[in-house]
Amino acid sequence: MKTDDLIALLAAGEGPVPRHAVCRRMAVAVLGGLTAALLLTVALYGVRSDITEVAQTPLFWGKVAFPTSLALIGLWLTSRLARPGGKGAAGWKMLGLPLLLVWCGAAVSIAGAPVDARADLLFGRTWRTCALNITLLSVPAFVTVFWALKGLAPTRLRQAGAAGGLLAGSTATVAYCLHCPEMGVPFWGVWYVLGMLVPTAFGAWWGPRMLRW
């Protein structure tokens, strides 16, 4: 086929292209993934019984703010990396801020606690299951975010996959806050981070295979 014929073929019968394709796809992916994670949290783990009381404490909202801020950065990163030539450098550095805040909070909280209470702050009662639960809850968001990326045109596939995994993991963690009874900052700094790291690492591994176009 001659290139001119291909060009005629590509242009033939094309109507207007919907605008804001990246934003719309990402919005659908995040809302779908978040809804599914919330439903799964309620169905599999149940909402913590003291949710109304705890929702009046700033500590609870600090806990929600941690994965929420990571999800917003993840969304920004994924949307950028979904376009040809999109770079992520500044976004990856931005992740350091919420992480640093939580780790500083964790250090202060551990330093201020009596020695025999420290292990409890770090491990709580659910450290065995926390990261696993978050990973499981991130599956629907992972699927929707990768569906969105697949319909766009990332050119840095490993970074785009990692950003998509981070977005899925942090969205799942926001939903998991409905259930998770742990209120120790060191606990979030370790087990939440680990739970989000699993889909992120998986996305980085899978991106170059899955997102090729």
Binding site for other proteins (CB under 8 A): 1-4, 6-19, 21-22, 82-86, 152-153, 155, 212-213
Q: Give the span between the Cα atoms of 191 and 48, in whole angstroms.
A: 18
Smallest CA-to-CA distance from 187 within 115, 97, 95, 103 is with 103
Q: Give the span between the Cα atoms of 168 and 134, in whole angstroms.
A: 10
Provide the minimum distance between the beta carbon of 145 and other proteins in the complex, in angstroms, as a whole number.
Answer: 16
Provide the minimum distance between the beta carbon of 162 and other proteins in the complex, in angstroms, as a whole number.
Answer: 17
Measured from the CB atom, the residue of 2 and 43 that comes closer to other proteins is 2
Q: Give the span between the Cα atoms of 197 and 59, in whole angstroms.
A: 23
Smallest CA-to-CA distance from 72 within 94, 104, 101 is with 94
Provide the minimum distance between the beta carbon of 202 and other proteins in the complex, in angstroms, as a whole number.
Answer: 22
Vertex 99: Cα angle to 94 and 105 (nearest 5): 135
Provide the minimum distance between the beta carbon of 109 and other proteins in the complex, in angstroms, as a whole number.
Answer: 44
Measured from the CB atom, the residue of 87 and 118 that comes closer to other proteins is 87
What lies within 8 Å, CB to CB, of 89 at 6+ separation is none
Measured from the CB atom, the residue of 17 and 111 that comes closer to other proteins is 17
Measured from the CB atom, the residue of 84 and 114 that comes closer to other proteins is 84
Q: Give the span between the Cα atoms of 137 and 170, in whole angstroms.
A: 10
Measured from the CB atom, the residue of 17 and 115 that comes closer to other proteins is 17
Provide the minimum distance between the beta carbon of 16 and other proteins in the complex, in angstroms, as a whole number.
Answer: 4
**Residue 128 per-residue DSSP state:** H
Measured from the CB atom, the residue of 106 and 157 that comes closer to other proteins is 157
Provide the minimum distance between the beta carbon of 83 and other proteins in the complex, in angstroms, as a whole number.
Answer: 5
Report how far apart, in Å, the C-alpha atoms of 167 and of each of 68, 86, 95, 108, 172 are.
Answer: 10, 17, 12, 28, 9
